[in-house]
Amino acid sequence: MKLTLAQFKRDFLAEIKTLYATDLSDTSSLGQFIALGHLVRRYNGSHWQDTAERYRKHDQKQVYYFSIEFLPGRLLSSNLLNLGLLDTVRQGLSELGLDFKTISAAEPDPGLGNGGLGRLAACYMDSMASLGIAGNGNGIRYRYGLFKQVFMDGYQVELPDDWLRNGNVWEVRRENKACLVRFGGNVWMAPQPDGSLKAMYEHTDDVLAVPYDIGMIGYQNDVTNTLRLWSAELPPSADNSYYSQAQRDRIDDITKVLYPDDSNSEGQALRLRQEYFFSSAGVQSILRHFGLRHQGMKELAKKVAIHINDTHPTLVIPEMMRILLDDHHCSWEVAWELTTKVMSYTNHTIMQEALETWPIDMFKGLLPRIYQIVVEIDRRYRAAKTPVFGEDLVNRTAPLGNGQVRMAFLAVIGSHSVNGVAPLHTELLKADVLRDLYQVYPERFNNKTNGITMRRWVQLANEPLSTLIDSKIGPTWRQQPNQLKTLAAYQNDAKFLKQLTAVKTENKVALAAYIKSELGIDVRTDAIFDVQIKRLHAYKRQLLHVFEIIREYLAIKDHPETVEPARVHVFGAKAAPSYHYAKSIIKLINALADLVNHDPKVGDRLKVAFIPNYGVSLGELIIPAADVSEQISTASKEASGTSNMKLMANGAVSLATLDGANIDIIEAAGEGNEYSFGLTAKAVYGYYERGDYHAADFYNADPELKRILETLVDGTIPGISTEGREIYDSLLRYNDEYFVLADYESYVQQQQQISEDFQDQQLWQHKALANIAAAGIFSADLAVARYSEDIWQVPHAKLLN
Ligand code: Z15
């Protein structure tokens, strides 16, 4: 949109006056942020309404992306960028004596997700709007997001994330769109005069679901879509209704806090309540919206696509069946046909502990009508498939089995599409976790490799790089990230490679300042910034990275005369509060950091910076400053990864196992431009099949590795006597579940190669540029375009190249 500097300044000052009845000098950064938020909404106001109007007028097919997590990050900058107002606003504020960065930083970062899954949902919202797809998000408005992490004595301590304390400028409460969600009670089917059956309920707990909508602004295309987050409230009180404090609390609790477990299912009843709550509210609102505009449900699958992001929203399947059967009186066959045509499912993990199952007793008590429907889905599945596939296979794959509701199986059976998130992951789904269902429904399986929005992760997070790219290839890459590939022509342009080093250094200076202020550590900006930012998990193997730090430390102590490039090891990682082992690794990293950072013999040659409270905003600071991207999961365990893509696009080279999307990154950038190592997925599966992995063999064969392991238990690293022993035992007594010892040697070899190559900055930046130039294929725009074409069958703005 068009906005002059003068107009903006007038609008901003007027907004301050209206909101606060005072002048600018008397407002805080937070107050200024809120005023800007109001202005952005005003500037965008008609787009949101017009977009909804346009979709209605053309009766455009809608996509509903259901996810129990959304991690959008701060929205001020991205909204301004997408509206084309960023430069004007920045300039205007500076003329008013204000600093845009400071105001931006006052915005709370909504932590309504744990990690990759939630951030992926947010990237896809951004891309759907930017591609002009009628895409809606559907999730939960948690009162408290993911805990805030602080370290005390090196241990993780969790504090509540009170992100709504000062309100949320971006949301609109739509109390007129609220609906009731029913839990518990008794249900029976009462025969009606016309011969049909009607579901009757008694003694149910009813919860009011109130939607809060947030505008998702597309990139300079006048489109604004909606992210709808549901909040649980008391139903409006009927005359004689009375709620005890306990009942009020039970309702409040439903949307009170995000479960802090990533890739792990705790199996608590409250979590099942959360899942049904937003699934039911979402489906009710979709069908109500559809019903207002159509005669009957015949056209439903032509006008609605529902996407199930991991198994958490799987209950949309029986919930849609319930409404079609009970309220619209469809036959089972018609309802099932519609439901399966509407639904599609993305799987995000093959890890057993993340695959959700619910005990039938819990499920039945909480959701009696939904349970009846799942029983019928199960019965019909068995009846239809047993003659073809035999009883054994059907027993292994039915929605009900071993006293559990098996959510992934229900999701596959009730959808027309199931996808993995990287080629290897999809192959493993077909060969391993969902092998039997792949026999039954081979045509449903497909791959959709993850993607990231380059707008947030390059244009906004890395302005110095973006400006440099413009200077070489012009700005079209900002619309079509795949144009980044034309940068490859400059891989031997010495001047350009020097400029890349300068950009990286500028970003390192910014990160170094944060590290200094937050941790009190001085780091050299000519050091290798070796970065691992992701949730703390045994399978992600932060421990392998720790071993490299110990190796570097011992090398400096043993041979101070050997000079290697300085290193800064940067970690960001939260551990699930109940994940004991992950918390021990956190303590280990902090204890090691303490030792290394304060050893005068080490000086500035080696530093460890474990930055607390990693999240989207810190990612935006850390990623542009990275030289090395640690992507070192045990092969086969990381479904895709997405920080690997963000780091690549910002010119970090990958130090990576052949896992998830690392494989595709290495192929895209060229093997010579990455550092890959370790067992392949096939080799890992080989060990499983033969049962012949012996961690101790690696320990005994490698004196260096042996010495490093001993530092965990011999007092070299002070303050970890219990944690060190526990980790040591996980490797040697319990045989190293994630093959850390098996991969140690090849990992270290690549780390040494990195130290050597980094000294030749031209060579290094050549590799960095190869990564940037190849990163365009991981644009979320392309990923979402493929979802639109292959799965949702909705039109999108054509993406050339
Ligand atoms: C989560 O963040 C992921 C998978 C899960 O099953 C859960 Cl519960 C949370 C991650 C994967 O670990 C990661 O490899 C992938 O890139 C991401 O989802 C998005 O697909």
Structure tokens at 265: 């299912």
Residues 151 and 48 in one domain: no
Out of 68, 70, 346, 348, give the residue to mutate to test ligand 1, the one with the largest number of ligand atoms within 8 Å of its CB. Answer: 348
Measure the CA dihedral 429/430/436/442, to 10°.
Answer: 130
pLDDT tens sequence across 567-602? 999 999 999 999 999 999 999 999 999 999 999 999
Confidence (pLDDT) at 352? 83
- For 186, how many CA atoms within 13 A lie in the half-sphere containing its CB? 5
- Give every CB contact of residue 312 below 8 A, 6+ residues apart in sequence: 67, 68, 275, 356
pLDDT higher than 90, residue 630: yes
Q: How far is Cα of residue 575 from the mean position of the Cα atoms in its chain? A: 15
Residues 85 and 122 in one domain: no
Residues 229 and 257 in one domain: yes
Nearest residue to 657 via CA among 641, 682, 675? 675
The CA distance from 519 to 513, in Å, is 10
Average pLDDT, stretch 520-528?
98
Percent of the chain with pLDDT over 90: 95
pLDDT higher than 80, residue 238: no
Helices 494-519 and 463-473 cross at an angle (nearest 10°) of 170
- Among the ranges given (54-68, 125-139, 182-196, 478-492), the one the predictor scored with the smallest mean pLDDT: 182-196
pLDDT higher than 70, residue 70: yes
Confidence (pLDDT) at 400? 98
Q: Is residue 698 situated within a structural domain?
A: no
Confidence (pLDDT) at 669? 98
Confidence (pLDDT) at 731? 98
Residues 97 and 244 in one domain: no
pLDDT tens sequence across 637-671? 999 999 999 999 999 999 999 999 999 999 999 99
Out of 71, 112, 117, give the residue to mutate to test ligand 1, the one with the largest number of ligand atoms within 8 Å of its CB. Answer: 117
pTM over 0.90: yes
Average pLDDT over the chain, rounded to an integer: 97
Residues 434 and 466 in one domain: no
Q: Give 144's DSSP letter.
A: B
698 CA → ligand 1 middle, Å: 30
- For 724, how many CA atoms within 13 A lie in the half-sphere containing its CB? 18
The CA distance from 724 to 710, in Å, is 9
Average pLDDT, stretch 281-289?
98
pLDDT tens sequence across 431-441? 999 999 999 99
Ligand 1 atom 7: the closest Cα is on which residue? 263
pLDDT higher than 80, residue 753: yes
Nearest ligand 1 atom, CA 118: 2
207 in Cβ contact with 248 (< 8 Å): no
pLDDT higher than 60, residue 800: no
| DSSP code per residue over 50-109 | HHHHHHHHTTPPEEEEE-S-------HHHHHHHHT-HHHHHHHHHHTT--HHHHHHTS--
Nearest ligand 1 atom, CA 660: 14
The three state secondary structure string of 167-203 is: CCCCEEECHHHCEEEEECCEEEEEECCCCCEEEEEEC
Residues 100 and 159 in one domain: no
Nearest residue to 321 via CA among 311, 332, 306? 332
Domain that holds residue 750: 454-470+484-678+741-778
Ligand 1 atom 5: the closest Cα is on which residue? 263
The CA distance from 669 to 352, in Å, is 32
- Give every CB contact of residue 631 below 8 A, 6+ residues apart in sequence: 638, 641, 643, 644, 654, 655, 656, 657, 659, 660, 662
Out of 258, 262, 535, 537, give the residue to mutate to test ligand 1, the one with the largest number of ligand atoms within 8 Å of its CB. Answer: 262
Confidence (pLDDT) at 740? 98
Confidence of residue 179 (pLDDT cuts 50, 70, 90): very high
pLDDT higher than 60, residue 262: yes
123 CA → ligand 1 middle, Å: 14
Q: Is residue 721 situated within a structural domain?
A: no
Confidence (pLDDT) at 355? 85
pLDDT higher than 60, residue 267: yes
Residues 142 and 84 in one domain: no
Average pLDDT, stretch 459-487?
97
- Give every CB contact of residue 768 below 8 A, 6+ residues apart in sequence: 500, 504, 627, 651, 652, 653
Residues 628 and 768 in one domain: yes
The CA distance from 385 to 394, in Å, is 7
The letter for the amino acid at 433 is V
Q: Is residue 714 situated within a structural domain?
A: no
Q: Is residue 711 situated within a structural domain?
A: no
What residues act catalytically?
A: 348, 534-535, 540, 642, 646
670 in Cβ contact with 770 (< 8 Å): yes
Residues 397 and 504 in one domain: no
Ligand 1 atom 3: the closest Cα is on which residue? 117
708 in Cβ contact with 545 (< 8 Å): no
Confidence (pLDDT) at 60? 96
Confidence (pLDDT) at 242? 80
CATH number, domain of 272, equals 3.40.50.2000
262 CA → ligand 1 middle, Å: 8
797 in Cβ contact with 66 (< 8 Å): no
Nearest residue to 69 via CA among 27, 17, 117? 117
Average pLDDT, stretch 221-227?
97
Q: Is residue 712 situated within a structural domain?
A: no
Nearest ligand 1 atom, CA 265: 8
Q: Is residue 275 situated within a structural domain?
A: yes
Nearest ligand 1 atom, CA 642: 16
The CA distance from 125 to 139, in Å, is 12
Residues 293 and 396 in one domain: yes
- Cross-strand bridge partners of residue 215: 226
Nearest ligand 1 atom, CA 425: 14
Residues 231 and 287 in one domain: yes
Domain count across the chain = 3
Nearest residue to 606 via CA among 530, 658, 690? 530
Which residues does a 6 A CB cutoff place in the pocket of ligand 1?
A: 114-117, 120, 262-263, 310, 348-349, 354, 421, 450, 638-642, 660
The CA distance from 392 to 158, in Å, is 46
349 CA → ligand 1 middle, Å: 6
Average pLDDT, stretch 296-305?
97
Q: Give 775's DSSP letter.
A: G
310 CA → ligand 1 middle, Å: 9
Residues 32 and 178 in one domain: no
Confidence of residue 45 (pLDDT cuts 50, 70, 90): confident
What Cα–Cα distance (Å) separates residue 472 from each residue in 42, 315, 486, 493, 778? Answer: 36, 50, 9, 11, 21
pLDDT higher than 90, residue 533: yes
Ligand 1 atom 1: the closest Cα is on which residue? 117
Q: Is residue 697 situated within a structural domain?
A: no
313 CA → ligand 1 middle, Å: 15
Q: Is residue 313 situated within a structural domain?
A: yes
Confidence of residue 799 (pLDDT cuts 50, 70, 90): confident
pLDDT tens sequence across 85-101? 999 999 999 999 999 99
Confidence of residue 10 (pLDDT cuts 50, 70, 90): very high
